[in-house]
Amino acid sequence: MAHEVVHGHIAVELPLWRRLLRFSTDHKDIGLQYMFTAWAMAAIGGFMAFLMRLQLGFPDKAFPFLGRLFPHGAEGGVLKPEFYLALITMHGTLMVFFFQTAILLGGFGNFLIPLQIGARDMAFPFLNGLSYWVFLLSCLIMLLSFFVEGGAAAAGWTVYPPLSALKDLIPGSGLGQTLWLLGMAVFIVSSLMGSLNYITTVLNLRTKGMTMFRLPFTIWGLFLAAILGLLTFPVLTAGAILLLLDRHFGTSFYLPTLHVAGRLIGREGGNPLLWQHFFWFLGHPEVYILALPALGFVGDILACFARKPFFAYRLAIFGALGLAFLSCIVWAHHQFVSGMNPYLALPFSLLTILVSVPFATILLCLAGTLWGGSFRFTTPMLFALGFLSLVTVGGFGGLSLGVAANDLHLHDTYYVVGHFHTIMGSSVLFGIYAATYFWFPKMFGRMMNERLGKWHFWLSLLGVYAVFIPMHWLGLTGMPRRYYAFTELEFLKPFLPLNTFISIAAFVLIASQLLFVVNFFWSLWRGEKASDNPWGATTLEWQTSSPPPHGNWGAELPTVYRWAYDYSVPDAPTDFIPQTVPPAKTAASSE
C-alpha cells in the first residue's frame, strides 16, 4: 500500500494475520502467504499419506472412524479403491506442486531473493502479489475436486490418458479430472508470474557490488529453479489444454480407437505416449526445481554452522548449471518401457546416468565445506547434515533407475516410490526444514525452540529411513506401485508384515511432524526474541533487522564488498565477515 512505503522506517507494523490476509505487494508478506498456504497443503497431503498407509498396512481391516469421516469414500470403515486412487493422485499432486514447489519458490524465493541480493522488493511487486492469489485459487480448485461427483482425479499424479480422458475408465476422470487440469493450469499461470519475477529480480536488482559470483548459493539454486520452471511448465500447460480438448471436444490427440466396457470409442489417430512426453518434459526438470533450492539452502547453512568458507564455490555453481541443463534433456527415462521406440532409451539412459556427474560435484563441494569446520549443532545444521545423508542414498537409487535395463524390472515398482520419496520427498523436505529453522528468526523476529527442533530431527531422520528404505526392498521383489492391495498376488502375500511395519513407521513419522507444528506456532508468539544476526551469518539478510522493515534497508541500499562465505578468516576480529564490510588490509577476502 502506497502510504506505507516509507523507505528506511518501519512505517506500519501490521499483525501477522493482516499481513497474510491482504493483497500485499511486499515480497516478505507474499513469501509468508505462500509459506502458510503451502504448509497447509502439506498437512492435507500428509493426512492422505496416513490414509493410504492405513489401507496398505492393514488391508480389509475396518476402521469405524474412517467410515464416519468419509461416508462415501470409506463406507463401513474400509477405503474404496476409487477413494484410494484419488488419494494417491492428489497426495502426489499436492506434495510436489502445491507444497514443495510453492514453498521453495513462492515461499523462500519471495522472502529471500530481495533480501539476499540487497533489493527493496521484487522487480514486479504487483505481479508478485497477484501470483500468490492465483496460487491460492488453484489450491481451492484442487481441493474442491474431492467434493464433486466421481471424486477427485484418480489416474495417478501423472494423469496418463486414456485413463485420465474417459470417465468410463475410472470415475475420477469425470469432473474431478477436469478440475485437476484447470487447477494445474491456474497453478502454472501463478508459477510463471513468480518465475519471471525471480529471474528479473536476480538479474536486474542486485545491489552495488553484488556480482553473480558473490551471490549466496541459495540464490543460485532459486534462480536456476525459476529458469527451469519458466522453460518447462508451459509445455505441461499445452499438454493439459490438449487433454481437455480430448476430454470435452472429441479431439484425438492422445486417444486411438478404443473399446471400453463393451463400447467402441470412435476416436482415431491419437497416441497416449504424446502426453507422457509433454508431462515428463516438465515432470523431470520439476525434480530439479525442487532439488536446486534445497541444495542452495543446505550449502549456505553448512558453511554458516561449520564456520567455513564454501568449498570450491565456483565449481559448485558450474555443477548447478550442469544439473539444470541436463535435467531438461533426460525426461524420457520415465518412459523406457512405455512402448516408445526402444532406441530412444539409449541416449536418455546415458544422459540420465551422467546427471550423477554435476550432482556429485555439488555434493562433494558441500562435503568439502565440512572439512576442518568448527561445528555448531543447531537444528538447521542437523537437518542440513541429514539432507547430505538422504541425498546420497536417494541419488544412488536414482542412478540405478537411470540404467535402462534395470527398469525392465524396477519400473513402476515400489523401488521407484521409495526412491523419489527419499530424494524428492525426504531430502528436499529436510532442506525445507533446515531453511525454516534457519530463517525463522529473520521472518518473525523470534527463535524456534532448539530442544523440540532436535527431537523433530532425530525422529524424522529415523522415520524417513524406516519408511522409504524397505520400500526399495519391496520394489526389488517386484511389488508394483499404485496397488490398492497386495493381497491378490500370491508372491506378494508374504510381505504383508513388512507393509504393516512401513505403515507403523509412517504413522510415527507423520506424528513426529506435529513437533514441528507445535514448535512453529509456539515460537511464533512465545519464542525467544531473535537478534538481527543470531547465527553469525555473512549474507545480506542478516545485516538488517529481524524481521526486516518494509523496504528491507535503511535510507541506503547495502553495498557488497565480498563473497558470501568469509567465515573464520585469519586475523579477522570475528569468525565471520558480513558481505557489507569493506575489505581491510589484513583480512583476506577471497572472491
Partner 1 sequence: MKGFQQRSQSLAILLALLLLLIAVAVIIGTLWWVRHHLPTRIADTAYEVDGIILFVLAVAAVFLLLSHLYLAFVLLRFRDNPKATFIGVTRRSWLPVLAIVAVLLAFDLMFDHKSNEVWGKVFFRIPNDAFVVEITGEQFAWSIRYPGKDGKLGRSDVRLVSDDNPLGLDKNDPASKDDIVFPAGQGELHLPLNRPVLFLIRSKDTLHSFCIPFARVKMDAVPGMTTRLWFTPTKPGRYEFTCAELCGLGHYRMRGDLIVEPMEKLQEWLSQQPTFEETMP
Alpha helix segments (H runs only) across 344-413: 345-354, 356-370, 379-402, 404-410
Cis preceding-peptide flag for 162 (omega within 30 of 0): yes
Among 405, 514, 517, 518, binds partner 1 (CB under 8 A): 405
Q: Which three cell numbers stand for residue 229?
A: 520452471
Q: Whole-number minimum distance, CB 202 to partner 1, in Å?
A: 22
Q: Does 195 bind partner 1 (CB under 8 A)?
A: no
Q: Which burial class, exposed, middle or buried, applies to 363 when counting CB atoms under 10 A from its CB (0-12, 13-18, 19+)?
A: buried
Q: Whole-number minimum distance, CB 496 to partner 1, in Å?
A: 13
Where in 258-277 is the site for partner 1 (CB under 8 A)? 258-262, 264, 270-273
Q: Does 528 bind partner 1 (CB under 8 A)?
A: yes
The 74-113 site mask, x for binding partner 1 (CB under 8 A), equals: -------xx--x----------------------------
Q: Does 545 bind partner 1 (CB under 8 A)?
A: no
- What is the CB neighbour count within 10 angstroms for residue 574? 12
Comparing CB distances to partner 1, the nearer of 135 and 280 is: 280
Q: Does 328 bind partner 1 (CB under 8 A)?
A: no
Query: Quick one: which H or E segment has residue 72?
Result: none
Q: Whole-number minimum distance, CB 163 to partner 1, in Å?
A: 5
Rounded CA separation 434/428 (Å): 10
Comparing CB distances to partner 1, the nearer of 92 and 234 is: 92
Query: Quick one: which H or E segment has residue 264?
Result: strand 263-265
Biggest CA–CA distance in the chain, Å, is 84
Among 396, 455, 501, 522, binds partner 1 (CB under 8 A): 396
Please tell me the total number of residues recorded for the chain in this structure. 591
Among 306, 317, 432, 557, binds partner 1 (CB under 8 A): 306
Asked if 471 and 414 touch (Cβ cutoff 8 Å), the reply is: yes
Judged by CB under 8 A, the stretch of 183-191, 219-227, 287-295, 483-491 that binds partner 1 is 483-491
Judged by CB under 8 A, the stretch of 67-75, 106-114, 137-145, 255-263 that binds partner 1 is 255-263
Among 76, 256, 554, 583, binds partner 1 (CB under 8 A): 256
Orientation angle between helical segments 110-117 and 27-57, nearest 10 degrees: 140
Q: Does 51 bind partner 1 (CB under 8 A)?
A: no
Asked if 152 and 146 touch (Cβ cutoff 8 Å), the reply is: yes
Helices (H) and strands (E) in the chain, counts: 18, 2
Comparing CB distances to partner 1, the nearer of 20 and 459 is: 459
Comparing CB distances to partner 1, the nearer of 4 and 450 is: 450
Among 53, 214, 284, 308, binds partner 1 (CB under 8 A): 308
Q: Does 504 bind partner 1 (CB under 8 A)?
A: no
Contacts of 585 by beta carbon, 8 Å cutoff, 6+ apart = none
Instruction: Give the chain's radius of gyration (CA, Å).
Output: 24
Cis preceding-peptide flag for 547 (omega within 30 of 0): yes
Q: Whole-number minimum distance, CB 536 to partner 1, in Å?
A: 4
Rounded CA separation 426/444 (Å): 26
Q: Does 200 bind partner 1 (CB under 8 A)?
A: no
Among 38, 130, 153, 170, binds partner 1 (CB under 8 A): 170
> Nearest CA to 460 among 379, 401, 361?
379
Q: Whole-number minimum distance, CB 541 to partner 1, in Å?
A: 15
Distances (CA, A) of 66 to 61, 72, 79, 542: 11, 10, 8, 47
Among 23, 147, 325, 375, binds partner 1 (CB under 8 A): 375
Judged by CB under 8 A, the stretch of 117-125, 175-183, 217-225, 486-494 that binds partner 1 is 486-494
Q: Whole-number minimum distance, CB 68 to partner 1, in Å?
A: 23
Count interface residues toward partner 1 (CB under 8 A): 121
Q: Does 570 bind partner 1 (CB under 8 A)?
A: yes
Among 169, 192, 515, 577, binds partner 1 (CB under 8 A): 169
Asked if 61 and 78 touch (Cβ cutoff 8 Å), the reply is: yes
